[in-house]
Structure 1
Amino acid sequence: AQLERLLRYTTFTPANNASGSPAISLPLGQTDTGLPIGVQFSGRHGDERTLLELAFELEDAQPFRRLGQ
């Protein structure tokens, strides 16, 4: 049961952990009840810059909701 729960939330992270490739998870919305909706992007090995630039552009277009707001 615990493994199933873990896999629901970390399905894609083991591939990045094993390969050493960069990944970033971003809050890109929320449900009607206010729960966060996130998305994970993966990049080429050594290309963290592209992921950070993407995050900055997305946040500029629609600022991320801050904790406590």
Structure 2
Amino acid sequence: MFAAIVTTLSPKKGVAIDLFAFVMFMGYGWGSLAFSLLIDLGLNETFQLFGILAAGGALLAMRVFRQQR
């Protein structure tokens, strides 16, 4: 989400798109690393933990961006 917001902020679209790609692929990499480290807990527990973290991130984003319209 951060990467998508950044592309609308900058008049230098090339820099914003580069940042978008960087953040997106780093997110894929870090998410994959975290998943591979947590998979030893079990598949169900790993998915539950990812779901809890995603819900927490969504709640945090709603609180932080509440004033955005």
The TM-score with structure 1 as length reference comes to 0.30
**Which has more radius of gyration?**
2
Higher strand share: 1
The TM-score with structure 2 as length reference comes to 0.30
Structure with more contact order per residue of length (Cα contacts < 8 Å, sep ≥ 6): 1
Higher helix share: 2
